[in-house]
Amino acid sequence: MDHDELWVEIPATFGHESFARLEHAFAEADLEFDSATRNVGVGPQGAETVYVFHLFRDHARTGARILRDVLELEDPAQALPFAGACPSCDAAVDDAWECPSCGLGFRPPYDPRDPFFVFLREQGAFPDARLDEVPSAALEEPTFIARALRYIWPERATPARRVFGIVTGVVMIPPLVLVGLVCLLFLPFALLARRRLRQEVGGGGP
């Protein structure tokens, strides 16, 4: 039987500390595994050495659970919006991915579509996990406009914060509109000057 049919590579690389912990845990569980080193990156200290694991395919499910426990991983696909007091500013957060007061984010630190988490999910490390159930808000970062609007008029804020946001919007928006109008006004003159410069440099050509 082909080697690739017997072994499965864990789709992730590990630093020395994580590698040592996983190697010990795999050995303690009597799993058949293999490992290799790779050099990645180039920097002042030279290339960094990372480690990869290959698990015997029949032991992949047990290995996935060991990976979950040793690395203390949770499935980002099962993350839910935060509700409660913000750990940073104590503001009330009502099922949101971001604190409406200080902007602290509560999105999972990992992409649930990362091949490593897909592997763990497929091997049963996270019970009842399904990628298609990931809330879209967990995968999408808010746009600049959305952040600006939340800053001017946050969902939850003190009256003083709301007044400050309104005043900021009233004060800043007119100058921005004026700058845009000035740019549009001077655009034809800039294009005309550019054309004349090109004619002078090109000896009168178009």
Q: Using a cut of 0.85, tell me whether the model's pTM lies above it.
A: no
**Do both 64 and 108 map to the same domain?**
no
Listed residues 11, 37, 70: the one ending a domain = 70
pLDDT tens track for 137-186:
444 444 545 555 555 444 444 455 555 556 666 677 777 778 778 777 87
125: number of Cβ within 10 Å: 22
- Which DSSP helix (H) or strand (E) runs through 8? strand 7-9
Q: Is residue 126 part of a domain?
A: yes
Percent pLDDT > 70 in the chain is: 71
Amino acid at 145: I
Last residue of one domain, picked from the residues 38, 70, 102? 70
Within a domain: 21 = yes
What pLDDT shows up at residue 15?
A: 92
User: Does residue 191 form part of some domain?
Assistant: yes
Q: Are residues 111 and 131 in the same domain?
A: yes
Q: What is the pLDDT of residue 179?
A: 78
Residue 48's pLDDT is 84
Mean pLDDT of 185-190: 77
In the chain, the percentage of residues whose pLDDT exceeds 90 is 41
Enter the tokens of residue 188: 């034809």
Are residues 139 and 111 located together in one domain of the fold?
A: yes
Q: Which of 46, 47, 24, 48 is nearest to 35 (CA)?
A: 24
Task: With respect to residue 186, please indicate whether it lies within any of the assigned structural domains.
Answer: yes
Confidence of residue 56 (pLDDT cuts 50, 70, 90): very high
* Average pLDDT taken over every residue of the chain: 78
Do residue 83 and residue 99 come from a single domain? yes
**64 & 19 share domain:** yes
User: For 95-141, what is each residue's pLDDT tens digit?
Assistant: 899 999 999 998 888 888 999 999 999 999 987 655 454 444 444 44
Torsion (CA) 29, 34, 37, 38 in degrees, nearest 10? -110
Do 9 and 58 belong to one domain?
yes
Domain identity same for 134 and 177: no
130 lies in the same domain as 186: no
Residues 48 and 111 placed together within one structural domain of the fold: no
69 pLDDT tier (thresholds 50, 70, 90): very high
Residue type, 33: F
Total number of domains constituting the chain: 3
Range of the domain at 129: 78-149
- In terms of domains, do 145 and 82 share one? yes
For residue 42, is it within any domain? yes
Asked if 110 and 117 touch (Cβ cutoff 8 Å), the reply is yes
